[in-house]
Amino acid sequence: MAILLGVALTATSIAITADVLRELGKLQSETAKAIIGAAILDDILALLALSVAIQLAEGSFTVSMIMQSVFAAVLFLVVGAAMGVFVFGRLIIRVDETDFARRYPDFVFAAVMMIAFLYAMVAEMIGLSAIVGAFVAGVSLEAIKLRHSRSFREGAEYLRIVFGSIFFISLGVLADIRAFDTELVWFTLALTSMAIISKLIGCGVPAWLMGIKIRESLIIGVGMMPRGEVAMVVALLALQSGVIAQPAYVAIVLMSLLTTLVVPILLRNWLYREGK
């Protein structure tokens, strides 16, 4: 349970920070680029840690099994990304140039979604989480530029809204409010405090040591704070596998919500405030 709680604190949900920086006109700044770049690597490492944690949760606590899990995850990331860029990516570009794509501009979007679900299925088959496969598919196909077909990024946004709503409903349905007591309040506050401090120290201090100014270093530390949906996925998987009980599940979900809410407040009203 402690390991899965640690995994829940590793990932960074960059969506909230990116939206705030975009509204403030700072998305193209060097600080924003550092946050986004670090968050991408952070998510990859978090997904690898999740794969290992799932193996541990199933009772496979051996060095060889952990090494096999890490090797399988790294191999899947490398091979999956290469297949996406050099095989599926080129195939989609060729299809986009055909008359069929001109007649049916939504075909490429359907094909990309099929590829994403294929990656998710393969990830599950080799013992990884489905979100690892979907993430690899998205990263490998991100650079595709379409000329005649409708942008699959736009379609993915609509699907994200639909599936996101279902996901958060499932989180709420599974949460037992009766588990919320005084002890859980203190545990949630401790978990949230650790989530905030770990990013400020782990990201802000190294940025300052690299020569970045204190204010920009604080922005990087604050921008990396949100845990968001990745931590909630970890909590959901841990609850379904029976590794954690309701109190820990509720604490992780609340921690994710609190860290997501505090970042826009700090960035807008403190670090990017006019005249400060």
Mean local confidence (pLDDT), 68-96: 87
Say whether pLDDT at 252 is over 80: yes
User: Does residue 256 contact residue 6 with C-beta atoms inside 8 Å?
Assistant: no
User: Does residue 225 contact residue 196 with C-beta atoms inside 8 Å?
Assistant: yes
Three-state SS string across 67-114, please? HHHHHHHHHHHHHHHHHHHHHHHHHHHHHHCCHHHHHCCCHHHHHHHH
The pLDDT of residue 275: 47
Domain boundaries of the chain, sorted by first residue: 2-271
- List C-alpha distances in Å: 123 to 88, 119, 132: 17, 6, 7
The pLDDT of residue 59: 67
Mean local confidence (pLDDT), 155-184: 81
Confidence label for 21 from pLDDT (cuts 50, 70 and 90):
confident
Lowest-pLDDT choice from 43-57, 119-133, 147-161, 242-256:
43-57
Please tell me the distance from the alpha carbon of residue 228 to that of residue 44, in angstroms, as a whole number. Answer: 15
- List C-alpha distances in Å: 264 to 83, 181, 255, 261, 273: 37, 28, 15, 6, 12
Which tens digit of pLDDT belongs to each residue from 27-38? 888 888 888 888
The pLDDT of residue 60: 59
The pLDDT of residue 58: 67
Average pLDDT, the chain: 84
Say whether pLDDT at 226 is over 70: yes
Say whether pLDDT at 88 is over 60: yes
- List C-alpha distances in Å: 141 to 92, 101, 158: 9, 18, 18
How many other CB atoms are found less than 10 A from the CB of residue 191? 22
Mean local confidence (pLDDT), 182-199: 92
Say whether pLDDT at 87 is over 90: yes
Q: Which residue has the higher pLDDT, 212 or 176?
A: 212
Please tell me the distance from the alpha carbon of residue 95 to that of residue 75, in angstroms, as a whole number. Answer: 28
Say whether pLDDT at 177 is over 80: no
First to last CA, the chain: 42
Say whether pLDDT at 61 is over 80: no
User: Does residue 217 contact residue 271 with C-beta atoms inside 8 Å?
Assistant: no
CATH class of residue range 2-271:
mainly alpha
Confidence label for 276 from pLDDT (cuts 50, 70 and 90):
very low
Of the chain, the percentage scoring pLDDT greater than 90 comes to: 20
Q: What three-state secondary structure class fits 176?
A: coil
